[in-house]
Amino acid sequence: MSKRTLDTFFSSTPKKARVVGLSPLPSLETTNDRKYGIENEVEATSVPMKTTNHPTYPWPIPHLPRHIAEEMELLVTAQGTEMRDQPDLDLLYFQPFIPKSIARDLFEFLRSELFFYRVSYTIKRFGKETVINTPRFTTVFGLDETSLFQPDKHDANSFPTGNASKLPSILEASDPSRPVRRDKYKCKPRPIPECLDLLRRVTEACTDTKYNFCLVNYYASGSDSISYHSDDEYFLGPNPAIASFTLGARRDFLMRHKPPKDKGSEPGVETNAKDVKLSLSSGDMVLMRGPTQPNWLHSIPKRKGGEADNGRINITLRRAMIPAGTENYYRYNVGDGSVYRWDTVRREMVLSTKATDS
Ligand SMILES: O=C(O)CCC(=O)C(=O)O
Ligand SMILES: [Fe+2]
């Protein structure tokens, strides 16, 4: 089958590729192309780099370099392999979704340009307040289904900038002429930057599913991890579909069936479900859908040595239905701590001197 772009995917007469969301000026992304892979573009030093900005961002996030964006546009017909060989399991596994030709540059770009957090929070465990230090870097963008960001009047890809205490409006999705009540959100939601929104749009086309949140994890080494959990919170609605991408180092992704309710027996015993282990490599995407989240747990366990220490980015796309989802995601993925940025010389995440003004 010939490759189709997002544009042609939705129209009956295939047109020449016009990259959705990319600047019509051919020279705008050359600065980034030189930094993240392509060396031989035309010089365009006087043209500013295109970015997404918003008062909640610690710094503007550049659009994707053109060579990455153009490849991504071609992915709308990517085909995954179904995995439904265990009870209650429904996975669509793309090996890869993002081709190797751009996976490395996309990884380097996102690691360098996004802002990250190392979130701590307290929970009550056995009646005692316990501090949990999230064992990975996180960041999040998006807004639940009940609201919309007010785009900039002149450019649908940017948002009014200015003083964070005077945030631009978030609008009621049911009546976009109306800003939301001041107390609708305690957190300060952040729009999905264009560089991640292109991935969101392409994934929507491939998976026939809508997403309004983009969560990003950075596992700096094999000591970073995520413990067994399921993403089946009530604010995602029943049987939520979650698209989960890997960039950078290969890591094991483990899945196990939840123990049958009220029986107190070992996992898998009554369902005959076997544990699942996927070795996720750069560019892979796993779509978890149907009964998977209510019935299965997943994790990225700690690992000693090997390529894990080169760093891995995970991106998940999800759809939150109500404001409780927005509050939850910002609390656990941004929190109220300091912002980190990748230091290209030290080759590690460092505390940024730029204070978050959100
Ligand atoms: O890093 C991964 O592959 C999994 C991340 C995950 O499960 C999550 O963020 O909920
Ligand atoms: Fe998860």
- pLDDT tens, residue by residue, 111-131: 999 999 999 999 998 899 999
Cβ < 6 A, ligand 1 pocket: 215, 217, 226, 231, 244, 253, 298, 300, 314, 316
Model confidence at 42, in pLDDT bands (50, 70, 90)?
A: very low
Model confidence at 269, in pLDDT bands (50, 70, 90)?
A: low
CA 113/CA 4 separation, integer angstroms: 29
CA angle 249, 252, 256 (to 5 degrees): 155
Least confident piece of the model among 18-32, 97-111, 208-222:
18-32
User: Is it the case that residue 350 has pLDDT exceeding 90?
Assistant: yes
CATH domain 51-260+272-344 topology: Jelly Rolls (2.60.120)
Q: Residue with structure tokens 């019509």?
A: 24
> Could you report the predicted ipTM of this complex, rounded to two decimals?
0.99
Q: Can you tell me which atom of ligand 1 is nearest the CA of 298? A: 7
Q: Give the pLDDT of residue 77.
A: 83
Task: Tell me the per-residue pLDDT of 311-335, one tens digit each, with 9 for 90 and over.
Answer: 999 999 999 999 999 999 999 999 9
Residues, Cβ < 5 Å to ion ligand 2: 231
Listed in sequence order, the DSSP H helices in the chain are 6-9, 30-35, 66-73, 100-113, 194-207, 292-295, 323-333
Q: Give the pLDDT of residue 337.
A: 84
Question: Are 81 and 222 a contacting pair, CB within 8 Å?
Answer: no
Q: Higher-confidence residue: 161 or 143?
A: 143
User: Is it the case that residue 29 has pLDDT exceeding 60?
Assistant: no
Paired residues of 243 in beta bridges: 287, 317
Ligand 2 centroid–CA 229 distance in Å is 6
Q: Which of 300, 295, 246 is nearest to 277 (CA)?
A: 300
Model confidence at 299, in pLDDT bands (50, 70, 90)?
A: very high
Q: Higher-confidence residue: 56 or 13?
A: 56
Give the percent of the chain with pLDDT over 90.
72
332 annotated as ligand-binding = no
